[in-house]
Amino acid sequence: MNNFKPVYWLHDNIKLPKTEVEEVISELKKTNFRLEIKPDTGTISSYHQTFYSRPDYIWKDVYSKIAEDITKSIGIYNSVYYENEFWAQLYYKKGSIHMPHQHNSGKSCISYVHFVKPTKDRCFNFLDNDGNDHAIPEQNEGDLICFPSYMWHRVINISDEERFVIAGNILIRYQSDDYEFCDK
């Protein structure tokens, strides 16, 4: 009997301006970096591009504020120093995949996925120890979910629609026993 329940929560529903989303998608499609375009998987990612040259860099302040809100909502904002990293993922054809993976680098604490332009099908799934998929009930435009970085997950885009998300990690860099010195 499998009673696996993925550990995640809906942080908020945040819609980005559609014109900016389409501009970022267009710029991602123009990239010609071997590491970012994976024709065999049907995905394009900004993950390996230099941060300041990535099209999704325009949302630096948006995702900094989101990371601040997440750390405040879970009660660690005043007790840790953290870094926020995020990147764009475009799934541009039916059958686009992102193989099972997790984000735990030994420094991550919280990972998130922002469903900027989801498909009608729920493509994002958590995995249990037996490799079974567990789709989260809602994957609506603007939904931003958070989960522990060690949670295994994958994406299989079964739709003909393009799917666009921003994924990220909040990395704990320093934890203080003295809250006074952690005032941001």
Burial class (CB in 10 A: 0-12, 13-18, 19+), 48: exposed
Segment 65-119, tens digit of pLDDT: 999 999 999 999 988 899 999 999 999 888 888 889 999 877 768 999 999 999 9
Whether residue 183 is contained in a domain is answered as: no
CATH assignment of the domain containing 109 = 2.60.120.620
Total count of domains within the chain: 1
pLDDT at 183: 45
Q: Which domain holds residue 80?
A: 9-167
Residue 22 placed within a domain: yes
Q: What is the pTM of this model?
A: 0.88
Distance CA 14, CA 52 (A): 23
Q: Which residues pair with 170 in a beta bridge?
A: 84, 110
Q: What are the Cα distances from residue 143, in Å, to 59, 81, 129?
A: 16, 26, 26
Q: Please check the confidence at residue 4 and state whether its pLDDT lies above 60.
A: yes
Domain-embedded: residue 176: no
